[in-house]
Amino acid sequence: MSEQTPIPTLKIIWMSIASAVAAFVALSVVLGKPAPDNPELVRWIGIFLAVAAGIQALTAMLLKQLIAGIANGRYVVYCVVRWSLVETIAVYGLILRLLGASWTWGAVFLGVGLGLLLSMPPTESEEKSFSSEI
């Protein structure tokens, strides 16, 4: 049985997470190191994080049934898990900037994370389809 979820409350949570991602962008600009101490290591960390981000993006976008199973019929949990997966991609961009990676590396992660997050707003139609599938 699915619990009733107030969509306005979910939209507040969604906007808060999007605001946090925007704060990551600002932090990466302010706190980013000008040059890495070990550029080769930062490059490999970036590659590893890109692979992880790809897996997370695919999971959030394509494996909705898996996330719905984890959520156990609760739409709020379903939304927060998906949003957390894509928000982490933006966090990877912030981490790379703090390690001294170029702004381009950070911007790609931050942009993908924010773009995916903005493509997943909570809607009543999605909640209804979620409830009917479970």
Predicted confidence band at 1 (pLDDT cuts at 50, 70, 90)?
very low
What are 31-59's pLDDT values in tens digits? 766 777 788 999 999 999 999 999 999 99
In this structure, are residues 45 and 106 in contact, taking their beta carbons and an 8 Å threshold?
A: no
> Which residues make Cβ contacts (< 8 Å) with residue 109, sequence separation at least 6?
49, 50, 53, 89, 90, 92, 93, 94, 96
pTM (global) more than 0.85 = no
pLDDT for the residue numbered 3:
55
**Which one, of 1, 6, 4, 2, lies nearest residue 122 by Cα?**
6
Render pLDDT for 106-117 as a digit per residue (tens, 0 to 9): 889 989 999 999
Tell which residue, 87, 79, 86, 80, has the closest CA to residue 59: 86
One-letter amino acid for residue 30 of the chain: V
User: 106 versus 131: which is more confidently predicted?
Assistant: 106
Give the pLDDT band (50/70/90) at residue 62: very high
- For the chain, how many residues are written? 134
Q: Quick one: pLDDT at residue 59?
A: 93
Which of the residue ranges 17-26, 28-37, 40-49, 59-68 would you say has the lowest mean pLDDT?
28-37
